[in-house]
Amino acid sequence: MIASSELILNPDGSVYHLNLKPEHIASDIIFVGDPDRVEKITRFFDSIEFSTQKREFKTQTGNYKGKRITVISTGIGPDNIDIVLNELDVLVNIDLENRLPKNNLTSLNIVRIGTSGSIQADIPVDSFVLSKWGLGLDNMLRSYLIEDISNTEITDHFIKHTGWDLNKGKPYVTQCSEKLEQKFDSKDIHKGITATAGGFYGPQGRILRLNIQDENLNAKMDAFNFGGNRITNLEMETAAIYGLGKLLGHECLSLNAIIANRASGTFSENPEKVINELIHYTLKKFIE
């Protein structure tokens, strides 16, 4: 039996942070970062059966053209992904009454719709990136046993190529769901490695008043290539989603609306437009 200090439930029996019960979620789930973006997706639903919010975690479940879909806001960063993915897994794979893992496990389909900045000059603003791989620079996943799901060849090549300082922790690389990659791919989408940082400023090479450990890291990442796989973009969630998803047995994919290009110094003139286009693209692919 899992102790109440480890599996924390609210008085109504819902999981602690998400405020959800098993019947509240679908097997097809969309992640967004911003709580305000949840309704920008569910406004296209034919009906909404459930809605709740606790802190930054807003959830709505409804029906879109015959498919039941849940949309959840995760907030920002790998630490929030740790909460959301573990608690979603609790809802489908742990018997909450007996506090024991179920014998028959459920695999969720999870697609992240995120905004991101490209670090490649040829991946322009207002384009889409499908994250073939997630490169974790954040350390969160290192709290788990990840050797069986981490690509050590890409990881070791990245460490050598960048001269990575292991005082910052050892990076890790995990792959997207091949099933969802096939379903959501198209000729219009860029693919590559998405780097996941543990912060927005220094960890992503931004310098305001503080010096950073490696001012040239972004340029080194821009030049990185392993077997034709380049680092396409930099954000704060994808690698954590991929890693926990593989460890827990869920199918995960990250789709990114590129609203900034760090190489050219450009920013989208209409970021809401490209985000809405990615929302429509994702919903269409879900029902195909």
pLDDT digits (tens, 9 = 90+) for 167-198: 999 999 999 999 999 999 998 899 999 999 99
Taking residues 46-54, what's their average pLDDT? 98
Q: Please state, in angstroms and rounded to a whole number, the distance separating the CA atoms of residues 155 and 189.
A: 24
b/e string for 148-167 if b means 16 or more Cβ within 10 A?
ebbbeebbebbeeebebeee
Residue 188's pLDDT is: 83
Helices within the chain (DSSP H only): 38-42, 78-93, 152-162, 178-184, 217-222, 238-248, 271-287
Q: Find out whether 200 and 115 touch, Cβ atoms under 8 Å.
A: no
Tokens coding 73: 């806001």
Per-residue confidence band for 17, with pLDDT thresholds at 50, 70 and 90:
very high
Tokens coding 195: 């780097």
Residue 121's pLDDT is: 87
pLDDT of 117 > 90? The answer is no
Per-residue confidence band for 209, with pLDDT thresholds at 50, 70 and 90:
very high
Q: pTM for this structure?
A: 0.96
Q: Please state, in angstroms and rounded to a whole number, the distance separating the CA atoms of residues 273 and 262.
A: 20
Question: CA angle at residue 258 from 257 to 260, to 5 degrees?
Answer: 145
Helices within 127-266 (DSSP H only): 152-162, 178-184, 217-222, 238-248
Q: Please state, in angstroms and rounded to a whole number, the distance separating the CA atoms of residues 272 and 149.
A: 35
Taking residues 27-56, what's their average pLDDT? 97
Within 8 A by CB and 6+ apart from 88, the residues are: 18, 25, 29, 72, 108, 110, 250
Q: Please state, in angstroms and rounded to a whole number, the distance separating the CA atoms of residues 59 and 88.
A: 11
Tell me: the pLDDT tens digits for 210-248?
A: 999 999 999 999 999 999 999 999 899 999 999 999 999
Q: Please state, in angstroms and rounded to a whole number, the distance separating the CA atoms of residues 282 and 59.
A: 18
DSSP E strands: which ranges in the chain? 28-32, 47-54, 57-64, 67-73, 94-95, 100-101, 109-118, 128-136, 172-175, 190-196, 225-226, 229-235, 251-261, 266-267
Residue 98's pLDDT is: 95
pLDDT of 265 > 90? The answer is no
Quick one: which H or E segment has residue 185? Answer: none
